[in-house]
Structure 1
């Protein structure tokens, strides 16, 4: 039973870590990244659809993304959705078959704003991991009468190690993203 609780907790913490890394990938750096465009919602025949499902995304240059819609009829909708996306600021143009989205250079102030945003996302991920830990600790406390205090104490130490490793991984991902954002 204790092993099940710890296994489930570790899996859920790993998912929280993956979600944090995905959130970091959606924050704009000086380079064009397909992750930034994947979740842009395009009104496709009246249904909000992620851009990653409607088009292929390729880096043409460091700051230029080449977007090729699978359905040429959705070209204008895709272009408008990219143009309307806040915090992207891409210059968008199309030649009738593909869309080129060029990202402007980031100013120092804008970089600092993105660093603050990434730190907030990292703190949210840490809070999520801590909430998972708290729930697991409650589950372990409920098992005390069945397995004994010593086993629960050992499991709580293991839980703390798992929690620390996931929080350290979030901090490491944050450090890498901050360095990427501040790189000129």
Structure 2
């Protein structure tokens, strides 16, 4: 039964990864997590913006980026332009300001589709973890470590965890969709 907790840990990590992914989706307000995937060429090394600058939300739709090394302003601005965030950074020589325009209805619908796809991908990953856990339990039964009753109980626990995590994913996705569709 060594694998009993393994599958729950993997399922928990899948949900955490989904939440992290959702954090990078722009929902019409400024969120520093949006810049997490943007990499700046920092002396030849692709580096996340939050490791070379202070990123803060100044107003609901505005972010400011203040690099610790002022010579990196251009590189940060260039990296943001190269990303597919759909924003225009404003460089005043000391800090970079990013104003997030309100999302169009069409863009909101695209983002909701993306949210649903990520949610479905996470549920597929959860079901894959379930399959692996049940196969592992069956191997343990073949090896004589589990009785038939133990196998049935363990399979039920794995299925219950799967259902619980899928329901949690649906809740997280619904919350993100609601956030995106708010005007």
TM-score range, shorter chain: over 0.9
1:16-165 equivalences in 2 (<5 Å): 16-86=14-84, 88-144=85-141, 145-165=144-164
RMSD: 0.9
* Structure 1: stretches of 5+ with no match in the other structure: none
Deviations 1:25-66 (A, max 9, x none): 111111010110122111111211111211111101111101
Higher helix share: 1
Stretches of 4+ aligned residues off by more than 4 angstroms: none
Do the aligned partners of residues 54 and 44 (structure 1) sit closer, same or farther apart at CA in structure 2, a change above 3 Å counting? Answer: same
SS of aligned partner of 1:49? strand
Q: Name the SS of the counterpart of 1:146 in structure 2.
A: coil
TM-score norm. by structure 2 comes to: 0.96
Q: State the 1:91 CA deviation.
A: 1.9
TM-score (norm 1): 0.95
SS in structure 1 of the partner of residue 145 of structure 2: helix
CA distance in 2 between counterparts of 1:68 and 1:84 reads: 19
